[in-house]
Amino acid sequence: MPYNTLSKFFSSLPVILISLYFIPFLGVILLLFRLFTRKNVNIKTCVFLIILGISVLIIKYGINLLSKNITNSVLLKVSNFFNNTPSIISFSKLCIIMGVILIIISIIIQKIFDKGVDSIKKYIQNEEDKSYKIKKENDLIMQEKREKAKNTRNIVCKHCGASNLVSEKVGKCKYCRQYLQ
């Protein structure tokens, strides 16, 4: 998605800033689109918005302070532009507010994602521990059965003729209860 030309165009900062200025709702949508389509830019974009909003406010109030002593016509036109457009202040406030809100949202989403990943990792680790314990118990039981099978021999009872599996040197016949040797 970030390699698509159209998505690159719509998630570029100039397009986002222009749309934030003229159509704030569309600008917010494009900003969210940028945050979710590009990786590792969620904090950078928010910080850029905050810095842009603060710098516009600083420029606006700086020009207001300096406009009283301006005699140059170019600087006078710039100061009149900043003084006569109240939407620049609302634009800078919108940039600052959006930057702060998006930082908070991205931090909350990151924390939720980290908790989810940690809980999944713990669950997987617990399941692996359980399966390891079960496997270890089964291996121990199988080893005991193998040892018992190694020490077991087949003895035919002299009294009834039944074959008996005996693990010791002396045992009883299962059928007639006579001692076997």
Tokens 């904090």 correspond to 43
Interval 135-174: pLDDT, tens: 999 999 998 888 777 777 777 777 787 777 776 767 777 7
Strands 153-156 and 163-166: antiparallel
The answer to whether 164 and 157 are in contact (CB under 8 A) is yes
Judged against a pLDDT cut of 70, whether residue 3 lies above it is answered with: no
Tokens 């039944």 correspond to 162
Q: What are the boundaries of each domain within the chain? A: 5-150, 151-180
Interval 97-145: pLDDT, tens: 888 887 888 778 878 888 999 999 999 999 999 999 999 999 999 988 8
Q: What is the pLDDT of residue 137?
A: 93
CA dist., res. 117 & res. 160, Å (int):
68
3-state secondary structure of 173: coil
Q: Which two tokens stand for residue 10?
A: 């719509």
Interval 67-95: pLDDT, tens: 666 666 666 676 676 666 677 778 788 88
Provide the b/e sequence for 44-73 (b: ≥16 CB within 10 Å).
Answer: ebbebbbebbeebbeebeebeeeeeeeeee
CA dist., res. 115 & res. 106, Å (int):
14
Tokens 């314990």 correspond to 133
Q: Compute CA 19 distance to the chain's CA centroid, rounded to the nearest angstrom.
A: 30
Does the pTM surpass 0.75? The reply is no
